[in-house]
Chain A
Amino acid sequence: MADKLELLDLLLEDARESTDTIARQLGCDESEVESMIAELEGDGAILGYQPVVDWSRVETDHVAAEVELNLELDRETKYADVAGRITKFDEVTALRLVSGDYDFDVTVEGDSMRDVSMFVSEQIAPIPEVTQTVTHFVMNTYKNRGLEFIDSDDDDRLSISP
């Protein structure tokens, strides 16, 4: 039985890899890979598959911001309750509770800086528990999801060596 962690590792590297190639790399049957993937998906361990996009190479306007949120909770309201409201917005692509100076780390994406600012001020800031927002617009991305956005070096090895 091939290892689920090893399968996850391979999918994290390239989720579009064929199950045939994955099976060969793991040294197991293709059907085994398929059933492990089905299991991981069924358990909710794998939630989906998405490309890592370098938006600077796509002819479109795309803006992302990291937004720090501070909250004030009362006895009846928990972090998860507020998170449940914020995650509903399509503009919010990531939301995490973090330790440190602020509570929520929110990634907001939109077509323009204006769109993102408006969204934060009109949709996030008015939430009663939100006491403060600090918006950091992303100016450049150099690495994301383990992939470098800078042109990597070409293979400069000799084509044949002993």
Chain B
Amino acid sequence: MKLSERARNTPPSGIRRFFELAEEMDDVISLGVGEPDFSAPWKARAAAIHSLERGRTSYTTNRGMLELREAIADHVPRYGLDYDPESEILVTTGASEAVDLALRALVDPGDAVAVQSPAYISYGPGVRFSGGDPLPVSTRAENDFVMTADDLERAGAADAEVLMICYPNNPTGATASADDLAEIAAFAREHDLTVLADEIYAGLTYEGEHTSIATLPGMRERTVVINGFSKAYAMTGLRLGYALGPSEAVDAMNRIHQYTMLSAPTTAQYAALEALEACQDDVEEMRTQYDRRRRFVISRFQDMGLDCFKATGAFYAFPEAPYDDEQFAEDLLQSEGVAVVPGRVFGEEGHGHLRVSYATGMSDLKAAMNRIERFVAECERGRAET
């Protein structure tokens, strides 16, 4: 079969090889997982089951059930956001669909799209699928992976049409304060960039409150905010996200969505509605658990002598690897049975780092950290001998 150039030019994801290696081995503790170890809150699951029992298995309106959009509109003011459920909110099949729709609605062929790096692996390919050219904006470890005007300048983002940012960040766990975002916002206003803000980890912020860039002066009209239920509500497999933006952007996204997706999964919409209305305690409990694990993991890395910046969001630590990140991750997997993801998978600036997910129960996490400690100590002994 003749395949499209687009398909042929899309490389397999960099985590594929690690996935295959890890799957072949027994007794692997994986800290390579990008999703919660919790199941969706029981009340949300029960609401989904109840909706199925009542036979709610039809499509919903393209934009998603109005009741759900209203619940979202009632939920986001906690981040200082205010959107009209009728015209400024679109419910999507995971935040991933929202990212795809936003890019297709905002990017013309040949447009440069400045993309934060390191970041989630789908952004670059997503930009290409929309016909745009991804322009990586490297954030730096010495700035705790917070994007600066200097980073944007150096990347040549002034000529881009769209800027994609993601805070709290996968893979680094970095968050951006209102002051940090003000610098990015000023650059976006000065160079007339539309901002696509993936805030899927907003609910998992551990020090201070999450700030959305859309709340800064002059930014609401040029920003599409993306969020969803996967991370904070532990609903990855239910595939439900949403986009918030000015009505012209949401209209445009909905025009594509109505042909490609029709509507987000109905069962998941019922679960999400219940999640917003009745599961905030569950979210807070999960956040507390992640926060404790975060402090545990980072302090263990620091005691091992690995440079590990103090991640304040999502559920990832991003320590420096003792040597080449890919080789180290492979050696660690082979000799200790602990899977982590080499930082380079997430972009240029990820080189030399490891993404360590702490979305794993404490007993596995303790065992994994002990194994890593042993392995790092062995590496150091080996190095001292040679």
Q: When each residue 2-45 of chain A gets 1 if its CB lies under 8 Å from chain B and 0 otherwise, what string results?
A: 00000001100010010001001111000000000000000000
With A and B bound together, what is the CA distance between A25 and B292 in angstroms? 4
Say whether, besides A14-B362, A24-B300, A159 and B293 are in contact (CB < 8 Å): no
A159 touches B299 (CB 8 A): no
Interface residues of A, dominant DSSP? loop
Q: Does B13 contact A (CB under 8 A)?
A: yes
Q: Does B121 contact A (CB under 8 A)?
A: yes
Given contacts A25-B292, A26-B292, contact A161 B32 (CB under 8 A): yes
Report chain A residues within 8 Å CB of B299: 24, 27
Q: Are A24 and B28 in contact (CB under 8 A)?
A: no
Whether A160 pairs with B19 at a CB distance below 8 angstroms is yes
Within the complex, the shortest CB–CB distance from B96 to chain A, in Å, comes to 10
Interface size on B, residues (CB 8 A): 29
Q: Which residues of A contact B288 (CB under 8 A)?
A: 9
Tell me if A157 and B33 are in contact (CB < 8 A): yes
Q: Tell me the number of A-to-B contacts counted with CB atoms below 8 Å.
A: 58
Determine the chain A residues whose CB is within 8 A of the CB of B34 once the complex forms: 161-162
Of the A-B pairs whose beta carbons lie under 8 Å apart in the complex, a sample of 22, sorted by A's number, is A17-B362, A21-B296, A24-B295, A25-B296, A25-B362, A26-B292, A157-B37, A158-B19, A158-B33, A159-B19, A159-B22, A159-B23, A160-B18, A160-B19, A160-B30, A161-B15, A161-B32, A161-B33, A161-B34, A162-B13, A162-B121, A162-B170
CB interface residues, B 178-210, toward A, < 8 Å: none
Interchain CB contact under 8 A, B295 and A25? yes
| A24-B300, A155-B37 given; A162·B15 CB < 8 A | yes
Main secondary structure of the interface of B (DSSP, over half): mixed
B interface residues, Cβ below 8 angstroms from A: 13, 15, 18-19, 22-23, 28, 30, 32-35, 37, 39, 120-122, 170, 288, 292-293, 295-296, 299-300, 339, 341, 362, 366
Are B28's CB and A159's CB within 8 A? Answer: yes
Residues of B within 8 A of A9 (CB): 288
Nearest-CB distance from B290 to chain A (Å)?
A: 11
A160 touches B292 (CB 8 A): no
The listed residue with most B CB atoms (<10 A of its CB), out of A14, A160, A162, is A160
Instruction: List B contacts of A25 (CB < 8 A).
Output: 292-293, 295-296, 362
What are the residues of chain A within 8 A of B170 when measuring CB–CB?
162
* Minimum distance in angstroms from A144 CB to a CB of chain B: 18
Shortest CB-to-CB span from B24 to chain A, Å, is 10
